[in-house]
Amino acid sequence: MQEFKLPDLGEGMQEAEIRRWLIQPGDTLKLDQPMVEVETDKAVVEIPSPIAGRVSAIRVQEGTVAKLGDVLVIFDTPGATSAPARPVVTTPAADSPAAAPEITSQVSMQAPTNGVTVHQRVLAAPAVRKRAFELGIELANVQSSHPSGRVTMDDLQHYIEHAQQESAASPPVASDRVSELAPAQANGARRSASVSFGKQQEEAEERQPLTGLRKRIAERMERSWRTIPHATAFDEIDGTALAALRQTLKPVAEQRGVRLTYMPLLVKLLLPVLKEFPIFNASLDEEKREIVYKRAYHIGIATDSPEGLLVPVLRNADQLTIMQIAEQLEHLIAGAQKRTLALSEVSGSTFTLNNVGSFGGSSGTPIINYPETAILAVGRLQEKAIVQDSKIVARTMLPLALSFDHRVIDGALAGRFLSRFRALVEQPQQLLLDMI
Amino acid sequence: MVVGDVTTAVDVLIIGAGPAGYVAAIRAAQLGRHVTLVEADSVGGVCLQRGCIPLKALLSASERYQQMRQESLAEMGISAETVSFDWPSMQAWKQSVVERLVNGVQRLIAGNRIELLKGTAWFINSEEMRVEGEELSHRLKFEHCVLATGASAAPLPDLPYDGQQVLTPEQALQLTELPAKLSIFGSDYIALELATLFARLGVQVRLYTPGDQILPDVDATPLRLVQAGLRKLGVQIATKADIAALDERPLVVSNGVRPNTARLSLDEAAIKITEQGGIIVDSMQQSSVPHIYAVGDCTGSRALASIAIKQGKIAAEVLSGQRVQFAPLVVPLVVHTTPELATVGLSAEAAERAGYSIITGRFPLAANGRALTLGTDAGVATIVANKDDGSVLGATVVGPRAGDLIGQMSLAIEMGATLTDLSEIIYAHPGLSEMLQESADHALNQAIHILR
């Protein structure tokens, strides 16, 4: 017997949501075989098996939150690494002929243990079994709606919905949908109330518990908004030179296989400003009442993912070339879409840049990525009629919105920060002055 | 070795273009991956070029010849006076079938924009392989690798294959002249099919099985019919034979296969293998190195193309980010003897051994109208079901087209169908499939066309 506890995943994470099991009780694991997907604050992380051995029990259900040190898995380990990891599918000819008549019986129709206990096959069509495996669900745990015990796609769907709702909602929030799907689980008062009006109420509104990434986003936004007195400074700057610069560099980058967007350029232009105004690359230690200036420049990039906002982090951005930033951004954004980012790639940012324009808005007031001190939102580049020397000219304008922690940053400083950034964006060649 | 060696980056690198490898390549290409496929020979692998396909082609040619000579034709009023065959022509026809299929596979590979390299490959480390052929030498760095190198006839300790006196099954299919006598050692479907093929063409065949019976793990009743069919063709069968004491020549030995993994330098990539050299994989076909997959015979699994094909698809889907596994409940086995035998799932004995309480049913071919109109009555269908819920666990069919009939029993088992399900549906009448329904009815004690 050996217990496996939720390990410290770094960055002070105290808990993680068990997202998906990749193993089942009875499986024989290889060392480092992925065991489980857990979701921490912003990342989905796979935890590999620390030993080779057979899984005796899984202690934490999918969808529930485990605390640091909670027992997740119990292994059978007679010796240290006894059972020489026996593959599921290969049938070594050395096995006694009686034990291995064919692959198929080994996989599922025969008792995997000693052949005496009958392995109860769950009656389910191949498509249902395939889906269950995809979702990491043990079919034996799924309740059948048929007297024969046959598990159908519908049963599987009910199981999933049920598991999600159970894990997310505490009883009082139990929704109308729950009571209809699983009458046994429903809370008495609500059910009697919904007998007559149930149908109509259901149509009028639908409740969905906050789970997964949505729940994290909500928690973080709440914390930031409640703790930090936000103030936002607006400006609109001339992006004509920036657009021209990008046009010039774009084909060159393309030849090297990189799609050059505005973001890498904006990051590069932002860095000298952050260095000149270190308070913007800092955080406030609320307990000790101390300002913590960060020496590293890890730029968070607010990114839309199918499940919600993610902030992948461009680490040590000040040590990267524009091309390197572009390459890393492509990787980070693709990773955010697929939710395959490592924990180090979504945490530890020191300042956050939010390209509101890419989401379709012209501008917006961003909420600070707690515990940072500021966040810069850049809007959509748009041609506008601008008065210059008493003449109307067409210029490509870039709206900016800088939210800052008013406890440590004053409005005047935010203004100076923006005007320095304006100077750099309007004359990007200034970058050359400080280049080594 | 190579001067000015440049590493080329590839996405998915697949080694071996047999049924496992080319299927993996096509599936990966369908899923948007860039695939490089390496094959030393032409595409199609052993199955297509030297194994299943040539054997089945020759079997069907020899069956036609043999059927023309049966007395039963006279009963139907047909006389065929001078029926003869020409072995070289038969071989040439077989080859034309093979070539047609090879061309088809080549077109699929090209049509899916898969890059095909002619050469052999081995690992430099867990991320790079060297590929060398007559006209090329590459150092390839891959994102994912799928090994599909197949297997070859297991060598015999003191009996080297010379292709003349001692032959592998593949070599037997390429004999340029038919021998007068042929001895065959083995008890698997390959040994039985070779015995059938040569006996039909008038070769005096002796079959030596290492154990007590042919086809271990098939129920006795159907097996007796196959054995009787072989005897009728003049095949002499001897059991418990010792290969060391066998001095008859030419001798074909069907002694199973050994994975082709020795030349891959698997150590360089730290890929783990079994004692027999099979690459150890999990149910998602991943080796001990997660981005390197192995499929088909090189994993040491049962050497069946049907398994290799499915595993190829699984590996391609897994490396493309899908979560799927190789977990069929059953794998059908077809033996092209006269009569033909096909079996899927558990035999009655294996089911009991696995701890099931079972009920069985059977139905003889002689009671099936369609069989009689085909002029044959040697055959049977047997079925094994779980007594607790009536779900079908296994089935065996002996008789004409057994290999095609068995597919519906695979479907029944995979879908968890019960005896009652089989009993309820309508089968075309008269038809051979009715045998399956009546065997299920027999298990339910309600078969019509046999007396209780």
Average the pLDDT over each of A33-37, A208-212, B216-220 and give the range with the smallest value: A208-212
CA dist., res. A175 & res. A171, Å (int) = 9
For A246, residues 6+ apart whose C-beta sits below 8 A from its C-beta are: A260, A262, A265
Best CA proximity match to A303, nearest among A312, A290, A314, A294: A312
Select from B289, B291, B329 the residue whose CB has the most chain A CBs within 10 Å, as the one to mutate to test that interface: B329
The band of A167, judged by pLDDT with boundaries at 50, 70 and 90, is low
pLDDT along chain B (452 residues), means of 10: 71 97 97 95 92 95 90 86 92 96 96 95 96 91 96 90 93 94 95 96 95 86 93 94 91 94 95 95 96 97 95 97 94 95 94 93 93 89 94 96 96 94 94 95 93 78
Contact: B355, A102; criterion CB under 8 Å: no
- Beta-strand relationship, B292-294 and B137-147: parallel
* Distance in angstroms (rounded) separating the CA atoms of residues B379 and B366: 7
Residue A106 carries which DSSP code?
A: I
Nearest CA in chain B to A131: B324
Quote the pLDDT of residue A325.
93
pLDDT band at residue A180 under the 50/70/90 scheme: very low
8 Å CB contact of A102 and B331: yes
A83: pLDDT strictly greater than 90: no
Interface contact flag, B415 A125, Cβ < 8 Å: yes
Q: How many CB pairs under 8 A join A and B?
A: 116
Rounded distance between C-alpha atoms, residue A233 and residue A376, angstroms? 10
Write down the pLDDT at residue A102: 33
pLDDT of residue B241: 92
- Confidence check: pLDDT of A96 > 60: no
pLDDT-based confidence at residue A114 (cuts at 50, 70, 90): very low
Is A109's CB within 8 Å of B346's CB? yes
CA distance B211 to B57: 29
Output the pLDDT for position A203: 58
**Is B449 annotated in the active site?**
no
pLDDT for A202: 45
Reported confidence tier of residue A11, pLDDT bands at 50, 70, 90: low
Q: Which pLDDT belongs to residue A90? A: 33
Tally of CB atoms within 10 A around B256: 15
Report the residue of B286, B343, B346 to disrupt the A interface, i.e. the one with the largest count of A CBs within 10 Å: B346
Contact flag A126-B414 (C-beta cutoff 8 Å): yes
* Residue in A105, A108, A111 closest to B327 by CB: A108
* Closest partner CB to B326 (pick from A89, A115, A116): A89
Annotated catalytic residue within B138, B144, B291, B429: B429
Instruction: Determine, for residues B389 and A148 on separate chains, whether the beta-carbon distance falls below 8 Å.
Output: yes
For chain B, list residues whose CB is within 8 angstroms of any CB belonging to chain A: 216-217, 256, 274-276, 278-283, 288, 290, 299-302, 307, 321-331, 345-346, 350, 353-356, 386, 389, 391, 393, 414-416, 418
- Helix/strand/coil for A30: coil
Instruction: For residue A177, give Cα distances in angstroms to A26, A152, A200, A211, A212.
Output: 35, 20, 12, 16, 19
Q: Is the pLDDT of residue A362 over 90?
A: no
Q: For position A315, what pLDDT does the model report?
A: 92
**What was the pLDDT predicted at A13?**
67
pLDDT for B41: 92
Say which of A119, A162, A230, A406 is annotated catalytic.
Answer: A406
Across the interface, whether the CB atoms of B354 and A118 are under 8 A apart is answered: yes
Residue of chain B minimizing CA distance to A118: B355
